[in-house]
Amino acid sequence: MEDLIQTIAVYALPVLFAITLHEAAHAYAARYLGDSTAYMQGRMSLNPVRHIDPFGTIVIPILLYVGTSGNFLFGYAKPVPVDYGNLRKPKRDMAWVALAGPASNFFMAFLWLVFAIFLSVAGVGEEFFMRMAQAGILTNLVMFAFNLFPIPPLDGGRVLTSLLPNRYAYRFAQIEPYGFFIVMALVLFKVLYFWMVPVMTAAHSLLQLIATPLKLFL
């Protein structure tokens, strides 16, 4: 129980920030490209309460953490409503709205990396803050890679739908009602591992490269 409390304390803020920025980014991109549905429903907000799903964001992750001894963790936020018909160029702009979420997580991972660098340079000895920074990097890289997986309704699935020719895009989009179950099966059978690890590794290497000038300067 003590380990669970410590884990929750370390991951609470990184997870809340990651989810909030991810969903808000979708809403901002949708409004910029012509659809104000999320904005009208108050979802274009950096207030975490607007995006938290009590069951998917809190109950399920805790139950899975306890039930699997931390070996399997999954959760979700309330999806941002987007009326793609309102977008100026629906098929093209669908991809940009979808990409806004993972892009926000990549940016947030970079901010946590900068925070970790400053902690190290400043000689801050409090382990809790460094663990939180590492948790922030990991959480956002996981969300970045997971959401880019090309199965709808994940963001990567919407990007792929946008890129496919109309006839194939329509057929591919038909699997969306089953997408969640497909992804869960891939997670449980550890097939998604072969997607997550390379994408996360590449993203982390890119983050380190971007942060190199800051490290040299400090």
Predicted structure pTM score: 0.91
Q: Are 152 and 179 in contact (CB under 8 A)?
A: yes
Instruction: Please check the confidence at residue 79 and state whether its pLDDT lies above 90.
Output: no
Rounded percentage of the chain residues whose pLDDT exceeds 90:
59
Query: Looking at the 3D structure of the chain, how many domains does it have?
Result: 1
Q: Are 158 and 84 in contact (CB under 8 A)?
A: no
Confidence of residue 67 (pLDDT cuts 50, 70, 90): low
Q: Which residue has the higher pLDDT, 131 or 64?
A: 131
Instruction: Please check the confidence at residue 64 and state whether its pLDDT lies above 70.
Output: no
Confidence of residue 55 (pLDDT cuts 50, 70, 90): confident
Q: Is 126 a catalytic residue?
A: no
Write down how long the chain is: 218
Q: What is the pLDDT of residues 160-198, one digit of tens each?
A: 999 999 999 999 999 999 998 898 888 888 888 899 999
d(CA 84, CA 93): 8
CA distances for 205 relative to 22, 65, 109, 141, angstroms: 21, 28, 12, 11
Catalytic residue among 23, 126, 127, 176: 23
Write down the residue that tokens 């940009």 correspond to: 96
DSSP class per residue in the chain: -HHHHHHHHHHHHHHHHHHHHHHHHHHHHHHHTT--HHHHTT-S-S-GGGT--IIIIIIHHHHHHHHTTTS------PPPP--GGGSSSHHHHHHHHHHHHHHHHHHHHHHHHHHHHHHHHHT---HHHHHHHHHHHHHHHHHHHHHTSSSTTSHHHHHHHHHS-HHHHHHHHTTHHHHHHHHHHHHHTT-THHHHHHHHHHHHHHHHHHHHHHHHH-
Structural domain span for residue 77? 2-217
Q: What is the pLDDT of residues 91-143, one digit of tens each?
A: 999 999 999 999 999 999 999 999 999 999 888 878 899 999 999 999 999 99
d(CA 205, CA 198): 11
Rounded percentage of the chain residues whose pLDDT exceeds 70:
92
Q: What is the pLDDT of residue 140?
A: 93
Q: Are 72 and 64 in contact (CB under 8 A)?
A: yes
